[in-house]
Structure 1
Amino acid sequence: MSSHDEAAGRLGLGALSKRSPGPARPGVVLLARRYFTSRAFGWSIVLLALGAWQIASTLHRMPQLPPLTDIGAVWLDHVQNGDLVAAVLETLRITAIGYAFATVTGVVLGFLMGRVPVVWGGAEPVVEILRQIPITALLPLLILYLGIGDSFKIVIVMLAATFPILLNSYAGARSISKTMAMTAQTFQLNWIQTQIEIGLPAALPYILVGMRQALAVTLVIAVVTGMLAGNSGIGYFILEAQQVLDVKALFAGIFTIAAIGYVLNALFLMVEQRLTRWRSLGSARH
């Protein structure tokens, strides 16, 4: 083959390679992977479901499934007249008080059970017995002793939220390594200093997991107690809407609870990230 033919062949191959389609651009694949593994994908599904709801309920009017626009209008009316706002604030008040008592009780008792054998020996049978009893089984007894006022609601919320915090605090206290204990001895820390400066920080991730689980439980129980015993709160708002067959107000209350739960969880995650920032810094160094 002549040099002219070889040059032409090389030119043809070069032109052909320029015209041939290349592989898919990695940027597009990367963006798609990020989308399908992010919250944006989940929110897209939620928006699609809500859009389908709106379209179906608009085309086929059904009393038990009103359009979202009608629910939004009713929600706005109840917000403006103050009914829904007052109900939400009452439920949040009961939730906050019960959650605060549960946090203190669960963290202190759970941590001491994990660090002090005598406390574990005395409290473990009682804790195991009490946490097996459903909250609903205690309702008649608590109503008998406490009535149906705030004390009843707060105690129910506290009992429901204490055990997740307690068990996770116990697990965190038991997870403290011997190396940390030896470090405390090296620095000649007494028992209280050891627990405050080494024990609690090491157990903090476990404690926060329990507190996050308990936060969802407290909101649910606060809503239920408002339905069973009370004349205020978001639970009572929903129950009243059901009794008068106001489906739009019923959905407005349910969506409000969902929004409150989501916001509370997001706020807790922000606090958790700030409190455990040292973990991410430590892993980044390694």
Structure 2
Amino acid sequence: MSTRASGRTVGGLRSLSLQAPAVTLLLIWMLIPLGMTLWFSFQRYNLLMPGMEQFAGLENYRYLLTDPALWSAMGTTLVLVGSVLAISVIGGTLLAVLYQQEFFGRGIARVLAISPFFIMPTVSALVWKNMMMHPVNGVLAWFTGLFGLPAIDWFSSYPLLSIIVIVAWQWLPFALLILLTALQSLDDDQVEAARMDGAGPVAVFFFITLPHLKRAISVVIMIQMIFLLTIFAEIFVTTSGGPGLATTNLAYLIYIRALLEFDVGGASAGGVIAIVLANIVAIFLIRMVARNLEE
């Protein structure tokens, strides 16, 4: 008995010693940037005034929380994340059902549908800005010209909608990939039995396919929401947060504070607020996914 206990203890210590370097490195990788962000958030620290740093207490947070730009950026972030999630989940579900069907060239069609996800965000934004939405040389301007309609300057007239389209175009294939993979495990006998009982395509979709995809949809929402909270490249390349603050989300507002206004203290306070919001969202989403996995 004691020999077994001793063996388990030695094995546990050996396993812990092997894991310790990786865990230590991960903690250092996480805690040092977080600690520096917290430290600077309590400092009055502007890069244009070197040597004049001083402790500011909660002044950076007070200024940021009373700044209308913060609430505008949070509203823009909410609209952007919610819109892209809706497009990705609904569109990804419908496309997954479509690409699950047998048709000629299905393999090539699947590869083409998934490929936008592997394009870098900056490249994707440049393609849409200069080749698709350009008011003179863009594909959309050429298409509207076929019907005698005037060209639309998308990034001036509909800036937030343009960003939503670009981001959704890139993240829709991710949802399609996850949902299509989940759809592979759907029992064909169950679908065939429902059809023999008289269920049409709509009934099969809502009562068999959609419940089967419930867990996969939860995973898609969790992963995408975490990444969508940090959208930056698409905004930087296309609108630079404008016109005004129309496309300035929380991540871009932090960039403006840090690298355009050189206010490291204010940007760090914004970073802390973003971390708190991201963790609240993550906790909520993890609980939702865990609840779906238990069902």
Calculate the TM-score normalised by the size of structure 2: 0.64
Q: What's the offset of the Cα at 1:251?
A: 0.9
**What pairs up with 1:49-64 in 2 under 5 angstroms?**
none
Kindly tell me: are residues 77 and 157 of structure 1, through their superposed partners in 2, closer, same or farther at Cα, counting changes over 3 Å? same
1:139 and 1:49, CA in 2 relative to 1: closer, same or farther beyond 3 A? closer
1:245 is paired with a residue whose SS is: coil
Q: Distance in 2 between matches of 1:173 and 1:55?
A: 44
- What is the CA–CA distance in structure 2 between the aligned matches of 1:141 and 1:90, rounded to whole Å? 23
One of 273, 280, 284 as aligned partner of 2:294: 280
**Could you say which residue in structure 1 is the equivalent of 2:255?**
239
Match of 1:249 among 242, 266, 282: 266
Structure-2 change in CA distance of 1:138 and 1:174 (3 Å): same
Cα distance in 2 for residues equivalent to 1:207 and 1:55: 35
User: C-alpha deviations, 1:161-211, integer Å up to 9, x for none?
Assistant: 212211111011111024433542564433332232112211221222122
For structure 2, the residue ranges without an aligned partner over 5 or more in a row are: 1-26, 134-153
Residue in 2 aligned with 1:258?
275
Q: 1:261 to 1:111 in 2, by over 3 A?
A: farther
Q: Distance in 2 between matches of 1:168 and 1:237?
A: 32
Alignment of 1:55-204 (within 5 A): 70=56, 72-114=58-100, 116-118=101-103, 121=106, 123-144=109-130, 145=133, 146-147=154-155, 149-181=159-191, 183-184=193-194, 187-204=197-214
Counterpart code for 1:74: N
Aligned length: 231
Measured on the aligned residues, the alpha-carbon RMSD in Å equals 3.9
SS in 1 for 2:262: coil
Cα separation, 2, equivalents of 1:55 and 1:105: 40
C-alpha separation in 2, matches of 1:267 and 1:250: 26
For the residues of structure 2 that align with 1:119 and 1:108, how far apart are their CA atoms?
Answer: 19
Q: Does 1:207 align with 2:193?
A: no
Tell me how far 1:53 sits from its aligned partner: 5.3
% identical aligned pairs: 16
Higher relative contact order (CA 8 A, sep 6+): 2
Residues 130 and 73 (structure 1 numbering): CA distance in 2 closer, same or farther, change over 3 Å? same
Q: How far did 1:109 drift?
A: 0.7
The 1:51/1:225 distance shift into structure 2, 3 A limit, reads: closer
1:111–1:166 Cα contact (<8 Å) kept: no
TM-score, with structure 1 as normaliser: 0.65
User: Cα 1:225–1:214, aligned 2, differ >3 Å: closer, same or farther?
Assistant: same
Larger-gyration structure (1/2): 1
User: What's the secondary structure of 2:199's corresponding residue?
Assistant: coil
1:154, CA displacement in angstroms?
1.0
Answer whether contact 2:122 2:233 (CA < 8 A) is retained. no
| Greater than 6 Å deviation, 4+ residue runs | 45-52, 54-57, 61-64
**Cα pair 2:45 2:263 within 8 Å, conserved:** no
1:72-100 C-alpha deviation (Å, 9 max, x unpaired) = 43022211233322221122222222222
CA distance 1:142–1:48, shift in 2 (3 Å): closer
